[in-house]
Amino acid sequence: MFRFIWTIGMVAAVAATAEGWTDAALAGGQETEWTGKPRGLIVYFSHSGVTKGIAERLQKKLGGALHRIEPAKAYPEEYQEVLDQARKEIDEGFKPELKGASLDLDNVDLVLVGGPVWAGTLAPPLSSFLARNSLAGKTVAPFCTYGGGIRDYFARFGEAVSKEATVLEGLGLGRADLAKGDEEIEKRIDAWLGL
């Protein structure tokens, strides 16, 4: 555990001062000047808005670009319908089409990747993102939100990411954690980042 906190803490401390955390790194637009510091990206899928809220908190602390993963066809709003569809897609290994092109990650060093836990594992849109975008050579830190439990989320995440990526220990925030309020959420995020 100490090694993880030191690693993510050091990455976060350097990344928080990096000038290169811009949207241009994503879209293949204007290149930012290399400062010798990590350039980062926070990527997330959020159906209910909970994971989006955590991604935005991370962006406030670290800066950097924020990219929302959006399926080409929206999921139903009704909880049971989403759950049924997600279970079916997960069982079939289905990866939905996503809006937008694959990201240009050439100018990104650190990628925080988040999503909700659906049926104990990665939500299909997050699986699609990981299949479409190579994270080889990147430092990757996963985070998730969940209502029922994490089960094998982080193991599946590690399997879905390139073997050439450095995957750091993840952050899982459950319904009980979120119910404790903003101060507790901030403490958990700060501990994960080593701040």
- Per domain, the residue ranges of the chain are 2-14+38-72+85-193
Provide the pLDDT for residue 25.
Answer: 36
Summarize the confidence of residues 81-102 as an average pLDDT: 93
Summarize the confidence of residues 131-140 as an average pLDDT: 94
Q: Which CATH superfamily is domain 2-14+38-72+85-193 in?
A: Flavodoxin domain (3.40.50.360)
Token pair 């930012």: residue: 32
Summarize the confidence of residues 134-149 as an average pLDDT: 94
Report how far residue 92's alpha carbon sits from residue 55's, in angstroms, rounded to the nearest whole number: 28
Report how far residue 42's alpha carbon sits from residue 73's, in angstroms, rounded to the nearest whole number: 22
pTM: 0.81
H/E element holding 43?
A: strand 40-44
Provide the pLDDT for residue 38.
Answer: 57
